[in-house]
Chain A
Amino acid sequence: MPSVTLLGQALISGVLAGGLYGLLAMGLSLSWGLLRLVNLSHFALAFLAAYIVYELGTNYHVEPWWSAAMVVPAMFAIGAGQHWLFDRFKVNELGSLLMTFSFAVILEVAIQLYWTADFRRYETEYATRSLKVGPFYIPVLDLTLCIVAGALAWGTWLWLRQTYVGKALRAAAEDPEIAAAYGVNHKKLAYLLSGIGAAYAGVAGTFIALIATLAPAQIWTYLGVVFAVVIIGRLGNPLGALLAGMLIGASESLAQAVLSPAWSPIVSFSVLIVILLWDPEWL
């Protein structure tokens, strides 16, 4: 029987790990929910950002936070540029899946060409710092990630509900023609939202560089679990994405603590199936 300390520690680790799932899911959820574009290259953009942060930190000794200040706007520009292609070729939901998959593969190859297929690890002093609260340890970096993810999720949620731009985006997602009749320029707003989604990938990438392993094929590591998170959290809902990420992270971690760690990959999809069947009102 696992001890309370083990269960508590597993829960903390899981919730914090889920913060990364949520952060990765946010941009994907926004573009899928509000633009009807499924952007598979979101993962590749996050890893491209991670590699750049790694490169700047390892070879030029740039602090990761300064790297993020450069990478995030660059990702915003890439996201907006990517939307120009969607717009130019009038890409629909299914088309976006294929197009962004191709884009992700191209990015994967480009990353491999420059950084090789070998593993990269960005060793920093932040990686193993923890706070001790009673018998539990809270990793500082993972906690920071969750705070950043929470701030972004909350801010985006408020922005979508309280501002004209946010309301216009939601209206355009509901009914583009009616929204256009009220003067909503959906095309311009879509560029903004695409840029924001990619910028979130940049934020996620910064943390991936600090806490995870870098290898080109790792781009696909988060695909399944993040899609489950996006669906559980409801499309276009950044707060839902973060909470769903934490739910999945906690479930995986508890499965690792109580059952065999090998069971954890099936947890995310089991939770997804249960929630889809249950379809609770509050979600």
Chain B
Amino acid sequence: MDERMGAFRRRGVLAGMAGGAVVLAAPSILRAAPSGKPVKVGATLSLTGFLAQTAVVHKIASEMMVEEINGRNGLLGRPIEYVLLDDQSKPEAARSLYEKLITVDKVDLIQGPYATAPILAAMGVAQRYGKVMIQSSMGIPKLQTYDRAFPATPFGPEPNVTYPNVILDALATFPTPPKTMVVLTSKFPSAQFMAQGMKEQAEKRGVKVLLYLEYESGNRDFGAIAARVKEANPDFLWVGSLGLESNLLLESLRKLDYTPKNHFHLYPAPGPLALSPDGDRALCSTFVEPDEPFLSRPGFKHLADEFKVRAAKANLPYTSIDAQGCGMISEWQILEAGVNGAGSLDDEKIAAWLKKNRVTTVYGSMRFDGPFNHGDAAQLIKQVQNKDWKVVWPKEFAAPGVKLIAS
């Protein structure tokens, strides 16, 4: 029985990968244009409010993917109609809007919103109506308890354990591996979750955590925090930052004439940190970058180029595709594969298909049969080198000639 199931699963995996690769690689001219009644796909994004910086990236990626999929064969041969609403970065608004999308707008399918709190709010509504919900940014996988909710980003079921170890493995290759560290984090839930994991894993591996500090998300002044970091003078500084918090912290440190020896930043605004005079050799989390070997993945180069054009047109200061944009692309790739694979818009059938098959995404091949519907963790580390982000760890994902540089 196990063997038969194994064979069945292998076939499913191969079918999913082959299907995904063909869909991504084939030129759109060879495919039939979708026709008939549109398939309505509803979602909210934080188009305004404190999360709006990321939503603008998600919106561009989403609109690009809707055009991409419609340029192929749509969903089941029908064009997609994307119904996007603004949840204003508020979970309570997300909850009401998903209710509206399902009951008033009568969407056929939904996509998840951005960030853990709005996702949790929307997930409750999705569960009530049995809708499949694919999301790309819930950094705390254990909270994804709804069996038809699927992650589009390969965090793995326990990123608070796996990712700190990826970082510690990378640091262990330094000529002088860090013996002490400071963990500094925003109280933004997913950042705080990862910070606690970093502290625990570092201590388990014998790295002394000199300071563990939490600050409120949106902290205005890093002067005193910088003074504490300087006084602790750790071998390694881990920052659970969002947006421009890393830039502000590094500037505050420089005002004190202090440069951290080695420093890692969790979710910074990638452009400003890479271009900052203080950003050189900064380490950061990622899953994919517009560089080799990732550009060799089917269709990724085209998507990265297209994103760049659209981001420039939208007047974004940093136009390279990043993990946020890739997360949204992956959401649509999974939805497309799920619907076309199941041959149905029925949520139960789509969920069942996703649990049994792998999907080829910008992140590589993803599976959804593990705890909380997560598959393998695929976190990578990138580093600012010459004002540009380069994947440096694990080594097999580094572009030719690129190496992790210790400070």
Q: Does B384 contact A (CB under 8 A)?
A: no
- Chain B residues, Cβ within 8 Å of A13: 221, 223-224, 226-227, 252
- Chain A residues, Cβ within 8 Å of B56: 116-118
The number of residues on chain A lying at the interface, defined by a beta carbon within 8 Å of a beta carbon of chain B, is 49
**Assembled-state Cα–Cα distance A48/B50 (Å):** 17
Q: Does B48 contact A (CB under 8 A)?
A: yes
A252 touches B315 (CB 8 A): no
- The digit string for A91-130, where 1 denotes a CB below 8 A from any CB of B, is 0000000000000000011001011111111010001111
Given A120-B317, A137-B256, A260-B214, A215:B53 Cβ within 8 A: yes
Q: Does A78 contact B (CB under 8 A)?
A: no
Q: Does A185 contact B (CB under 8 A)?
A: no
Q: Does B344 contact A (CB under 8 A)?
A: no
**Assembled-state Cα–Cα distance A212/B227 (Å):** 18
- Chain B residues, Cβ within 8 Å of A16: 223
Q: Does B255 contact A (CB under 8 A)?
A: yes
A222 touches B220 (CB 8 A): yes
B52 touches A14 (CB 8 A): no
Q: Does A217 contact B (CB under 8 A)?
A: yes
Closest to B226 in A: A13
**Assembled-state Cα–Cα distance A213/B56 (Å):** 17
Q: Does A254 contact B (CB under 8 A)?
A: yes
B272 touches A119 (CB 8 A): yes
B47 to chain A: closest CB distance in Å?
7
Q: Does B254 contact A (CB under 8 A)?
A: yes
B315 touches A116 (CB 8 A): yes
**Assembled-state Cα–Cα distance A16/B257 (Å):** 17
Q: Does A249 contact B (CB under 8 A)?
A: yes
A123 touches B275 (CB 8 A): yes
A118 touches B53 (CB 8 A): yes
Given A130-B256, A215-B243, A217-B89, A6:B218 Cβ within 8 A: no
B257 touches A130 (CB 8 A): yes
B218 touches A17 (CB 8 A): no
Q: Does B309 contact A (CB under 8 A)?
A: no
- Chain A residues, Cβ within 8 Å of B254: 128
Q: Which 3 pairs between the two chains have the least Cβ-Cβ distance?
A: A13-B223, A117-B52, A256-B224
Q: What are 24 A-B pairs at a CB distance below 8 A? A: A2-B228, A5-B227, A9-B256, A10-B227, A17-B220, A108-B48, A116-B315, A118-B56, A118-B317, A121-B272, A127-B251, A128-B254, A128-B278, A130-B255, A137-B255, A137-B257, A139-B223, A212-B248, A213-B247, A215-B243, A225-B220, A256-B225, A261-B213, A261-B219
**Interface residues, chain B, with chain A CB atoms under 8 Å away:** 47-50, 52-53, 55-57, 89, 187, 213-216, 218-221, 223-228, 231, 243-244, 247-248, 251-252, 254-257, 269, 272, 275-278, 314-318
